[in-house]
Structure 1
Amino acid sequence: MKRRMTLGDFLVAYLRRIGVRHVFGIPGDLALKLFFAFGRKQDLQIHTFSHEPGVGFAADGYARATGKIGVICVTYGAGGHNMVNPVAGSFSERVPLLIFSGGPGEEERKLGTLIHHQAREIESQHRIYQEVTCASRVITDPRDAAQQLHEVACAVWAEQRPGYVEIHRDMVDREIEVADELLEEGHLRFHESDARRVEEAARETAAMFNASRRPVLIAGIEIHRYKATHELIELAEKMGAPVLTTVLGKGAFPMDHPLHMGVHVGPISPPPIVARMDEADFVLNLGCLRTDMNFGNRPPQIIQEKSVWAVDRKVDVKYHTYINVAVRDFVHALLKQELRKHREVVTYASNLTNGVTHSAGASTPVKVAEILRAVNDFVAENRHYMVVAESGDMMFGGLDLKVPREGLYLAQGFYASMGFAVPAAIGAQLGCGLRPLVLCGDGGFQMTGPEISHAPRLGANPIVLVVNNGGWGIFRPIASERRDLLEIPPWPYARLAQDWGGVGFEA
């Protein structure tokens, strides 16, 4: 059966059906009808920010923190093009976003003139988004509009990557046909695996594990994105082997679990981790992307003939590959295997040594390591906090933090765009309720930090530690010839916090 309704009403009904309750965006003339539709029945909360990059990072943070789809609405051209960088980061790091953009109507397109906000051609924005999304559509036909949207949403969930839907402004109030099943209660689904290949890959992996003496398990981002953390904990406890995470996958395994050894960053990992990896005769990589950041910008330390890689819907066992095997299904299959339990005593390793905390009134500058130790002490005592690390020094420093399982850790561990942390923290708090503790350099803060001025009206109360080193500190060791290029003007950060409705302190 089919029913008729406006496209705008269908959007709201469908988004609610798949669990969406929040929309992030900035209104613009070519997207106003979309915003009116989203706000018509008070079914969706609309959160606006000052600049589209902040919108994108906020929706990304919401999606990371909740495990749900982050929904964005922006205007065509000037708005959509501003959104490309955050969306590219979400694509790289497997974050599910659904981006709605307005667009010029049919009558405007027939004028034969260039339309405001247009770049090269009217279709240019859609073509750009095809590069940073797993699915994209321009909705032009009322007969299949509902199905087109559904297909994009299904791809977003299955791939855990952004999708793009462009709806020109004269389409929002058009009547469309909607199949009843598109409005029925139900859940979007992940990709289905080939059961026989899953079973065979699990059997071969179990045999390698049972023959090993010094196995190591490494957890990556797909474990978190595909909701397999609980199963991973069960598998790790069944194996009794140390568990590392990748840079991007930090938090995919509980940091306070006795089997958690720390973060693997290739040869620049903490020395105990490097030594333990050198001893490993079997490495099980679950959901780990092969990125330069995950390997410390060095060739992989992991020997292929001693390893299994499960990522991107395939499992590489030594030198052969099982396709159509999702990591979640693979972990489930491993749990059913007979596995010899190792009883290794694991000691957590980081680059933070036990130092002396900076005393009040000391004349020497505060060091980053001292800040990180203080943060570790704070979250150990206040366990329901979310730590959000900005790209740059704070992202690398954040690898040494040990956030309890009641909390959360967010960072762009691969795409590493500065400007992520403050808006992502606000979006994350709106979604999950945990209060954010943001670690941010002054460079990153000057990009999107002013979005914190929206926090009071949105009901968010992030704590932001601005590590003010007067410029792009992460590049100073490699740009000694022109340090002037790395300087940025000083801001009165503490006073700005007060002007924006918060409290500011200097240390």
Structure 2
Amino acid sequence: MTLARKLLQMLKDEGAKQVWGIPGDFILPFFREMEQSDILPVYSLSHEPSVAFAADASGRLEDGIGVLAVTYGAGALNTVNAVAQAYAERSPLVVLAGMPSQSELDMGLKLHHQVKSIDSQALIFNEITCAQVRLDDVSHALDNIAKVLNFCKEMSQPVLIEIPRNMATELCDERPARLPILEVEHTATDKCIEDFQQILAAATRPVVIVGVEVKRYDLEGIFCDWLKRLGIPCFSTLMGKGIAAEHDNSPVSGTYLGEAGDPDIAAIVEQSDLVIVVGAILSDSNFAISAQTIAGRQSVFIQHREVNFGHYSYHGIALKTILTQLCHVAESKKWAMHLPHHQASKPVLIHDRDIIAPMMIATMLNECFQRYGKLPVASDVGDCLFVSQGLAQTSVVAPGYYASMGFGVPAGFGIQATTGRRPIILVGDGAFQMTGMELGHCRRYGFTPIVVLLNNQGWEMIRAFSPDSQAADLGHWQFAQMAAILGGRGLTASTPSELQHALNSAFEDTSQFYLIDVQIPKGVRTPSLDHFAKVLTQKQKMARS
């Protein structure tokens, strides 16, 4: 078997469902092996950031890994921002990058796509991947591949595998690769659980806030069992929206956004005497708006390979181990009343005479989910991210921390290619201008997303922080007219009734993609975005003073 085919088989064994890529001369031999072997399907798009976004979304689903293949230098370096996002947001992603062969290096010439040195590509990716390997020795290649794939899954972060041009077709043996054994601190687990149980027993009003690591490590089932046994309230972070959403009787009751979110949820957290944060990335988007609330009471932070009790920590214990042990010892008790009881937010009232406010989109999508069945959601950043927080119990993939624009449309492709389910894509007009043209690939791959485009003729998130910014204005684009050229159907909605009709039409027609251009007046935003921008701006001013 060739090295390329063995690598593809190892990727498949680790949960890869496909490869996203754009060919170039240094990676062409590997592409030929992919296409001829048919081990994994290959999807090519128009721009390297898009294939990285699609692979990232694929890696966030179903305990798998995302894979992209690009050429040396010009191709790989064009994915840096998207790969950086996967690194920051803990997404398991494998970057397969081409490399010159040794004979080309021996010429002593600068090679095309080379930056400063032949190693510039690897040095740059060293900052945004947790492991790197160059397959320049076939005798050690399988062990090296196994090592970096193990790190990819263990750390839930990207890795880089460089494939010299001549190595893809090299023959390699069929022996199993030797998997490295990561050092784990087992002896501390019992003491950690004992300490946690003592703290929990002393609490009367505990609350759990859950983050993305529970999804990344495929622990939603264990997590739900633990919470159901405890019987305490649970909310997600901004990034954690959609965790356990499709589990029966999910214990996750909403999203905690501090001062920027639901006041009932904020009240429950603020009245608690123990905040248990599980699997959350400790970022400003998750906690800056609520840092004082969290810091002002006893908290326990449970993350993969670290449990922090405030003045001391346990290291080296896997998140799965912690949650499994906690589930075994969990017991409910008569917790003190949390007031007020959290109730689902009231739907936004809709009248034909109304303009379309962003949260109307969430209300109407929830109605469509009830009528036609739930669909998974890919959301870009901006106000569409806050709209996604209003969706009822459906899975959501979104870049809530690193927040790079352009994620939505390719991420929708990643969802459909990986799960076979038709996605909803929430995207603003600014982000759509970056990657929206990729919809032209829907026809050849059979993708049928429903794209809900929030068109406020600008970057509304920028306006929220800087109302006088002229650079945030993008002008009026006729997005719906693009759909037919790209192979789908476009509809424009400027009133609630038009939006409802457009969504019904899209849900009922599964034969093609829909692009719904939702006309939202400039300055009309979700309340959450307004509060989020206000609170962060105030905190930033205080930090500068």
TM-score by length of 2: 0.85
1:380 aligns to 2:373 (yes or no): no
1:477 aligns to 2:464 (yes or no): yes
Q: Give, in whole Å, the separation in 1 of the partners of 2:132 and 2:251.
A: 42
Residue 305 of structure 2 contacts residue 317 of structure 2 at CA under 8 Å; is this kept in 1? Answer: yes
Q: Give, in whole Å, the separation in 2 of the partners of 1:68 and 1:417.
A: 22
- Counterpart for residue 181 of structure 1: 176
| Aligned ranges 1:120-139 → 2 under 5 Å | 120-139=116-135
Q: 1:446 to 1:349 in 2, by over 3 A?
A: farther
Q: Give, in whole Å, the separation in 2 of the partners of 1:241 and 1:442.
A: 40
Residue 305 of structure 1 contacts residue 318 of structure 1 at CA under 8 Å; is this kept in 2? Answer: no
Residue 157 of structure 1 contacts residue 189 of structure 1 at CA under 8 Å; is this kept in 2? Answer: no
Q: 1:433 to 1:13 in 2, by over 3 A?
A: closer
Q: Give, in whole Å, the separation in 2 of the partners of 1:369 and 1:17.
A: 41
- Counterpart for residue 232 of structure 1: 223
The residue type equivalent to 1:181 in the other structure is P
Counterpart pick for 1:299 among 288, 291, 303: 291
Q: 1:19 to 1:291 in 2, by over 3 A?
A: closer
1:44 aligns to 2:48 (yes or no): no
Residue 12 of structure 1 contacts residue 37 of structure 1 at CA under 8 Å; is this kept in 2? Answer: no
1:54 Cα deviation after fit: 0.7
Q: Give, in whole Å, the separation in 1 of the partners of 2:421 and 2:351.
A: 28
1:296 Cα deviation after fit: 4.1
Structure 2 alignment gaps of length 5 or more: 494-545
1:330 aligns to 2:322 (yes or no): yes
Residue 8 of structure 1 contacts residue 38 of structure 1 at CA under 8 Å; is this kept in 2? Answer: yes
Q: Give, in whole Å, the separation in 1 of the partners of 2:310 and 2:369.
A: 40
The residue type equivalent to 1:339 in the other structure is E
Q: 1:354 to 1:40 in 2, by over 3 A?
A: closer
Q: Give, in whole Å, the separation in 2 of the partners of 1:143 and 1:354.
A: 62
- Counterpart for residue 490 of structure 1: 476
1:211 aligns to 2:202 (yes or no): yes
1:89 Cα deviation after fit: 0.8
Q: Give, in whole Å, the separation in 1 of the partners of 2:152 and 2:168.
A: 22
Counterpart pick for 1:371 among 357, 361, 364: 361
Q: 1:130 to 1:467 in 2, by over 3 A?
A: same
The residue type equivalent to 2:384 in the other structure is M
- Counterpart for residue 282 of structure 1: 274
1:52 Cα deviation after fit: 0.5
Q: 1:97 to 1:224 in 2, by over 3 A?
A: same
Residue 15 of structure 2 contacts residue 63 of structure 2 at CA under 8 Å; is this kept in 1? Answer: no
1:65 aligns to 2:61 (yes or no): yes
1:212-268 CA-partner distances (Å, limit 9, x unpaired): 111101111111111111111111111111001111111223378464331112332
Q: Using the aligned pairs only, state the percent identity.
A: 32
Q: Give, in whole Å, the separation in 1 of the partners of 2:288 and 2:12.
A: 42
1:321 Cα deviation after fit: 0.8
| Aligned ranges 1:347-362 → 2 under 5 Å | 347-348=341-342, 353-359=346-352, 362=353
Q: Give, in whole Å, the separation in 1 of the partners of 2:150 and 2:478.
A: 46
The residue type equivalent to 1:486 in the other structure is A
1:442 aligns to 2:429 (yes or no): yes
Q: Give, in whole Å, the separation in 2 of the partners of 1:264 and 1:311.
A: 18
Q: Give, in whole Å, the separation in 2 of the partners of 1:127 and 1:390.
A: 29
1:304 Cα deviation after fit: 7.0
In structure 2, the residue corresponding to 1:102 is in which secondary structure?
A: strand
In structure 2, the residue corresponding to 1:144 is in which secondary structure?
A: helix
- Counterpart for residue 272 of structure 1: 264
| Aligned ranges 1:74-473 → 2 under 5 Å | 74-176=70-172, 178=173, 180-182=175-177, 193-254=184-245, 257=249, 259-297=251-289, 299-303=291-295, 306-337=298-329, 339-342=331-334, 347-348=341-342, 353-359=346-352, 362=353, 364-404=354-394, 408-473=395-460
Q: 1:498 to 1:192 in 2, by over 3 A?
A: farther
Q: Give, in whole Å, the separation in 2 of the partners of 1:237 and 1:192.
A: 32
1:482 Cα deviation after fit: 3.3
Q: Give, in whole Å, the separation in 2 of the partners of 1:145 and 1:489.
A: 52
Structure 1 alignment gaps of length 5 or more: none
Residue 20 of structure 2 contacts residue 43 of structure 2 at CA under 8 Å; is this kept in 1? Answer: yes
Total equivalences in the alignment: 490
The residue type equivalent to 1:448 in the other structure is T
Q: 1:195 to 1:381 in 2, by over 3 A?
A: farther
User: Superposition RMSD on alpha carbons, in Å?
Assistant: 2.2
Q: 1:17 to 1:128 in 2, by over 3 A?
A: same
1:361-399 CA-partner distances (Å, limit 9, x unpaired): x3x531112222112222233333011211111112212
In structure 1, the residue corresponding to 2:264 is in which secondary structure?
A: helix
- Counterpart for residue 525 of structure 2: none
